Amino acid sequence: MKRWPEFTRPLFVGALLLYGLRQANRHWLQGPLPPLLTSYLSDLAAMPVMLTLAVAAYRRMVARSQAFVLPDAWLGWSWVAVSMWFEGILPLFDAQAVADPLDALAYAAGTLAFRRWLNRPA
């Protein structure tokens, strides 16, 4: 059995690459991208990446089982916490952060993608 099977799933690898490429383009490459991609691609890819890291860590440190999957309530609360932090709280303290309700929808779509394709036993 593979040591970290969660990290070899195509959706995780794709989300990680998309997130990384978007951040590289934002900070260094600065190539022109359609506004839809610059606004929501990172938000869409963030939840599958964060939740995959969370389930992998939980499986190794707490559950000690590759069969553990994150319960739907945890996924819902993760979406709420990330949405509240990045769209509610952070914009109050960081002038570069902008609250956008559509970002919360992108987080929701990423959470649902994680639930459907990544939240499975390893």
pLDDT of 4 reads 84
Quote the pLDDT of residue 96: 92
Query: Which regions of the chain does DSSP assign to beta strands (E)?
Result: none
Q: For residue range 18-40, what is the model confidence (pLDDT) as tens digits?
A: 888 888 988 898 889 888 888 89
| Angle in degrees, 0-180, between the axes of helices 101-113 and 72-84, rounded to the nearest 10 | 150
| d(C-alpha 5, C-alpha 36), whole Å | 32
Residues recorded for the chain: 122
- The span from the CA of 20 to the CA of 42, in Å, is 9
| Average pLDDT of the residues in 35-47 | 89
Higher pLDDT, 47 or 1: 47
Report pLDDT for 33: 86
Mean pLDDT of the chain: 93
Give CA separation, 1 vs 27, 53, 54, 59, 60, in Å.
Answer: 38, 19, 20, 15, 14
pLDDT at 56 over 60: yes
112 in Cβ contact with 48 (< 8 Å): no
pLDDT tens by residue, 63-92 = 888 999 999 999 999 999 999 999 999 999
Domain spans in the chain, listed from the N-terminal domain onward: 5-117
- Looking at the chain, the whole-number percentage of residues with pLDDT higher than 90 is 73
* pTM: predicted TM-score of the whole model, two decimal places: 0.91
What is the model's pLDDT at position 50?
96
